[in-house]
Amino acid sequence: MIRQNPARRAALLDAAIEVLARDGARGLTFRAVDVEARVPNGTASNYFSNRDDLLTQVGHRFYERLEPEPGVMAAVLEGPRDRDRVTELMHELVARVSHFRSGYLALLELRLEATRRPELRRLLTERIRADVDTNISNHMASGLPGDATTVVLLYLALNWLILERLTLPDIFPEDQINDLVTDVVERILPGPGRSA
């Protein structure tokens, strides 16, 4: 019988994210999740029908935790809708994703595992495609400059920057990240220079 306590399920998924980030997909076992979550042995197996179910739900949990604060999206609709606002939003995005380091690393592990598990690949493809589509839709509705291609190019460039930042931080030292994010936006979204 699969348990339904939402708080316990979320805690187990958060523990699974930590295990994935630290030990990789091969280290993700129900026992490892129980230990990480500090719950009795067998708890994770009461919440997830099998390892594929656990992997799938970890993917969902990552995106739940990565949702921006409600004020971030509201701020998009306030003030000027120019390249400086896009730059500000991209800085917030890079900071938010980078601060959830274990989640991002766990997602990378899920992506690698998806090359061997068709169901996980389908889930991640649908989830990430939906995320990109939502970002495009929100961007277009916001009145910010740029088009769908702008959003896709920012997504691709900044994801790789985050990957470098979290996996090989010495390639681009931390004191360069701010300028790199700004430069990415300015190169992808041409227009007037920074506001004074």
Digit-coded pLDDT (tens) for 4-42: 799 999 999 999 999 999 999 999 999 999 999 999 999
Q: Are 17 and 10 in contact (CB under 8 A)?
A: no
pTM of the complete model: 0.86
Token pair 């920057």 in the structure block, residue: 161
What angle (nearest 5°) sits at the alpha carbon of residue 94, between those of residues 52 and 80?
Answer: 130
Look at residue 153 and tell me whether its pLDDT is greater than 70: yes
End-to-end CA distance of the chain: 62
Q: pLDDT per residue over 82-140, tens digit each?
A: 999 999 999 999 999 999 999 999 999 999 999 998 988 998 899 899 999 999 999 99
Domain-wise residue ranges, the chain: 1-66, 68-196
Higher pLDDT, 196 or 44: 44
Same CATH topology for 1-66 and 68-196: the answer is yes
Domain 1-66 maps to which CATH number in 1.10.357.10, 1.10.3720.10, 1.20.1440.230, 3.40.50.1820? 1.10.357.10
Residue 55 burial (10 A CB sphere; 0-12, 13-18, 19+) = buried
| CATH class in words for 68-196 | mainly alpha
